[in-house]
Each structure stands twice: as C-alpha cells, then as structure tokens.
A = this chain, B = another copy of it.
C-alpha cells in the first residue's frame, strides 16, 4: 500500500500529465510546494514501486499501475465531495479540503456505501467525472467559457478548479453548475466576458475566471 504522501504525489502526477502524458520534476515540486530534490528522491522510490517510469533527466510518467492508483484516489476524492454536498449538505466551496483527507481513508465499504447512497453518480459537485470502480473515466474535449463564440448560449458543465477562493467568487457572481448563460460580449483588450444569466442579471467575468469554466 501507498502512504498518504505517496498517494498525493501520484494524484499530482496524474493531474499534471493529463495534457502531454509526462511531468517534470520542477512542475511537481511547484504543485506540491516542496523542493526539487525531495521530488527527485520520491520519484526514485515510486520507480522502485513500479508506479512511475523514471530515468534521470527524463520526464516522469505513470505506469499502468500508477494510473490505476491515481484514478482510484480521484474516485474516492470526488465521491467524497459529492457525498459531502448531497448527503451532508455542505457547500460546493467547502468540500474539497475535507475530501483531500477523506480520499485517504482505507475502507472499501465506506466508499461503496457512498456510491450506493448517491446512486452511482457520474459527476462530482464541480462537474468533474467520477472514475468508476474499474478506473474508467468519462472524458471529452471541453469548451472554456472564455472561448465561447459571442452571442451563443451554453450550459455550465464544470469548473476547472475547486479551491474555496475560486468557488466563493462564483457564488458571489451567482453562477452554478447547470446554469445557462449567453455570451453577450468579449472584450478584446483583456478577454473579460459579459454574460446574460438566467437570473436576468448581466455578469462580468475576467478572462482568468472564464477560462476555468467549462460549458457545453
């Protein structure tokens, strides 16, 4: 079994390698807020455990075993987040930090009961897909709200971040998963967008925020 620390490394490697399949020591170090030499020695350890493929000066990539483990951790994290929102009625902005801890709980029963109580859900409270128990995960290219064509209407499907500060911001703007928005105007100068919201209100979002909202 992996330690909590190892699980966190694996999860981060998975997230960072989604785009290109590989990650660099420097990226991992920044993401985990630790120094490069620490990452370097952990990679040697994970390589010994056959979780990553790693050769000096080359990028890091998860092995099939490593991917399986990553998806299992992500499954637990997202299932926990949804449970906290649906069953325990916490806000979508306060569940990530708790799920960071619950994802390391070692108990098949705990998670299978969550899964049952939530009726085998497919998405977490932030719209992210929940891998199934075999590690299969729903994926499809998504459109960022910042790239939506002017004049078009779309539905908010997911948010690309679940940090409290970002979600507090969306709460303040009155935006939620499932909301329908129409892109009224995109400023050429700074990429900020003005939305027409179902609430009839016009909402202004900076590019930084709009690019973290996925629509379909």
Q: Are A113 and B101 in contact (CB under 8 A)?
A: no
Q: Which residues of B are found within 8 Å of A89, using beta-carbon distances?
A: 113
Q: Are A105 and B109 in contact (CB under 8 A)?
A: no
The answer to the question of A137 belonging to the interface, with a C-beta cut-off of 8 Å to chain B, is no
Instruction: Tell me which residues from 129 to 172 in chain A have a Cβ below 8 Å from any Cβ of chain B.
Output: none
Q: How far is the CB of A90 from chain B (nearest CB, A)?
A: 6
Number of copies: 2
- In the complex, A194 Cα to B113 Cα: how many Å? 37
Q: Which of B88, B97, B105, B107 contacts A117 (CB 8 A)?
A: B88
Q: How far is the CB of A127 from chain B (nearest CB, A)?
A: 22
Contact-residue size bin, chain A (C-beta under 8 Å from the other chain):
10 to 19
Q: Are B97 and A107 in contact (CB under 8 A)?
A: yes
Q: Mark A97-136, 1 if CB is under 8 A from B, else 0.
A: 1100110111101100110010000000000000000000
Q: Are A98 and B107 in contact (CB under 8 A)?
A: yes
Q: Are A113 and B97 in contact (CB under 8 A)?
A: no
The answer to the question of A32 belonging to the interface, with a C-beta cut-off of 8 Å to chain B, is no
Q: Which of B88, B101, B107 contacts A106 (CB 8 A)?
A: B101
The answer to the question of A87 belonging to the interface, with a C-beta cut-off of 8 Å to chain B, is yes
Give 19 new A-B contacts, CB below 8 A, not counting A98-B109, A101-B106, A101-B107: A84-B110, A87-B87, A88-B110, A88-B113, A88-B114, A88-B117, A89-B113, A90-B109, A90-B110, A90-B113, A94-B109, A97-B107, A98-B105, A98-B107, A98-B110, A101-B104, A101-B105, A102-B102, A102-B105
Q: Which residues of A contact B (CB under 8 A)?
A: 84, 87-90, 94, 97-98, 101-102, 104-107, 109-110, 113-114, 117
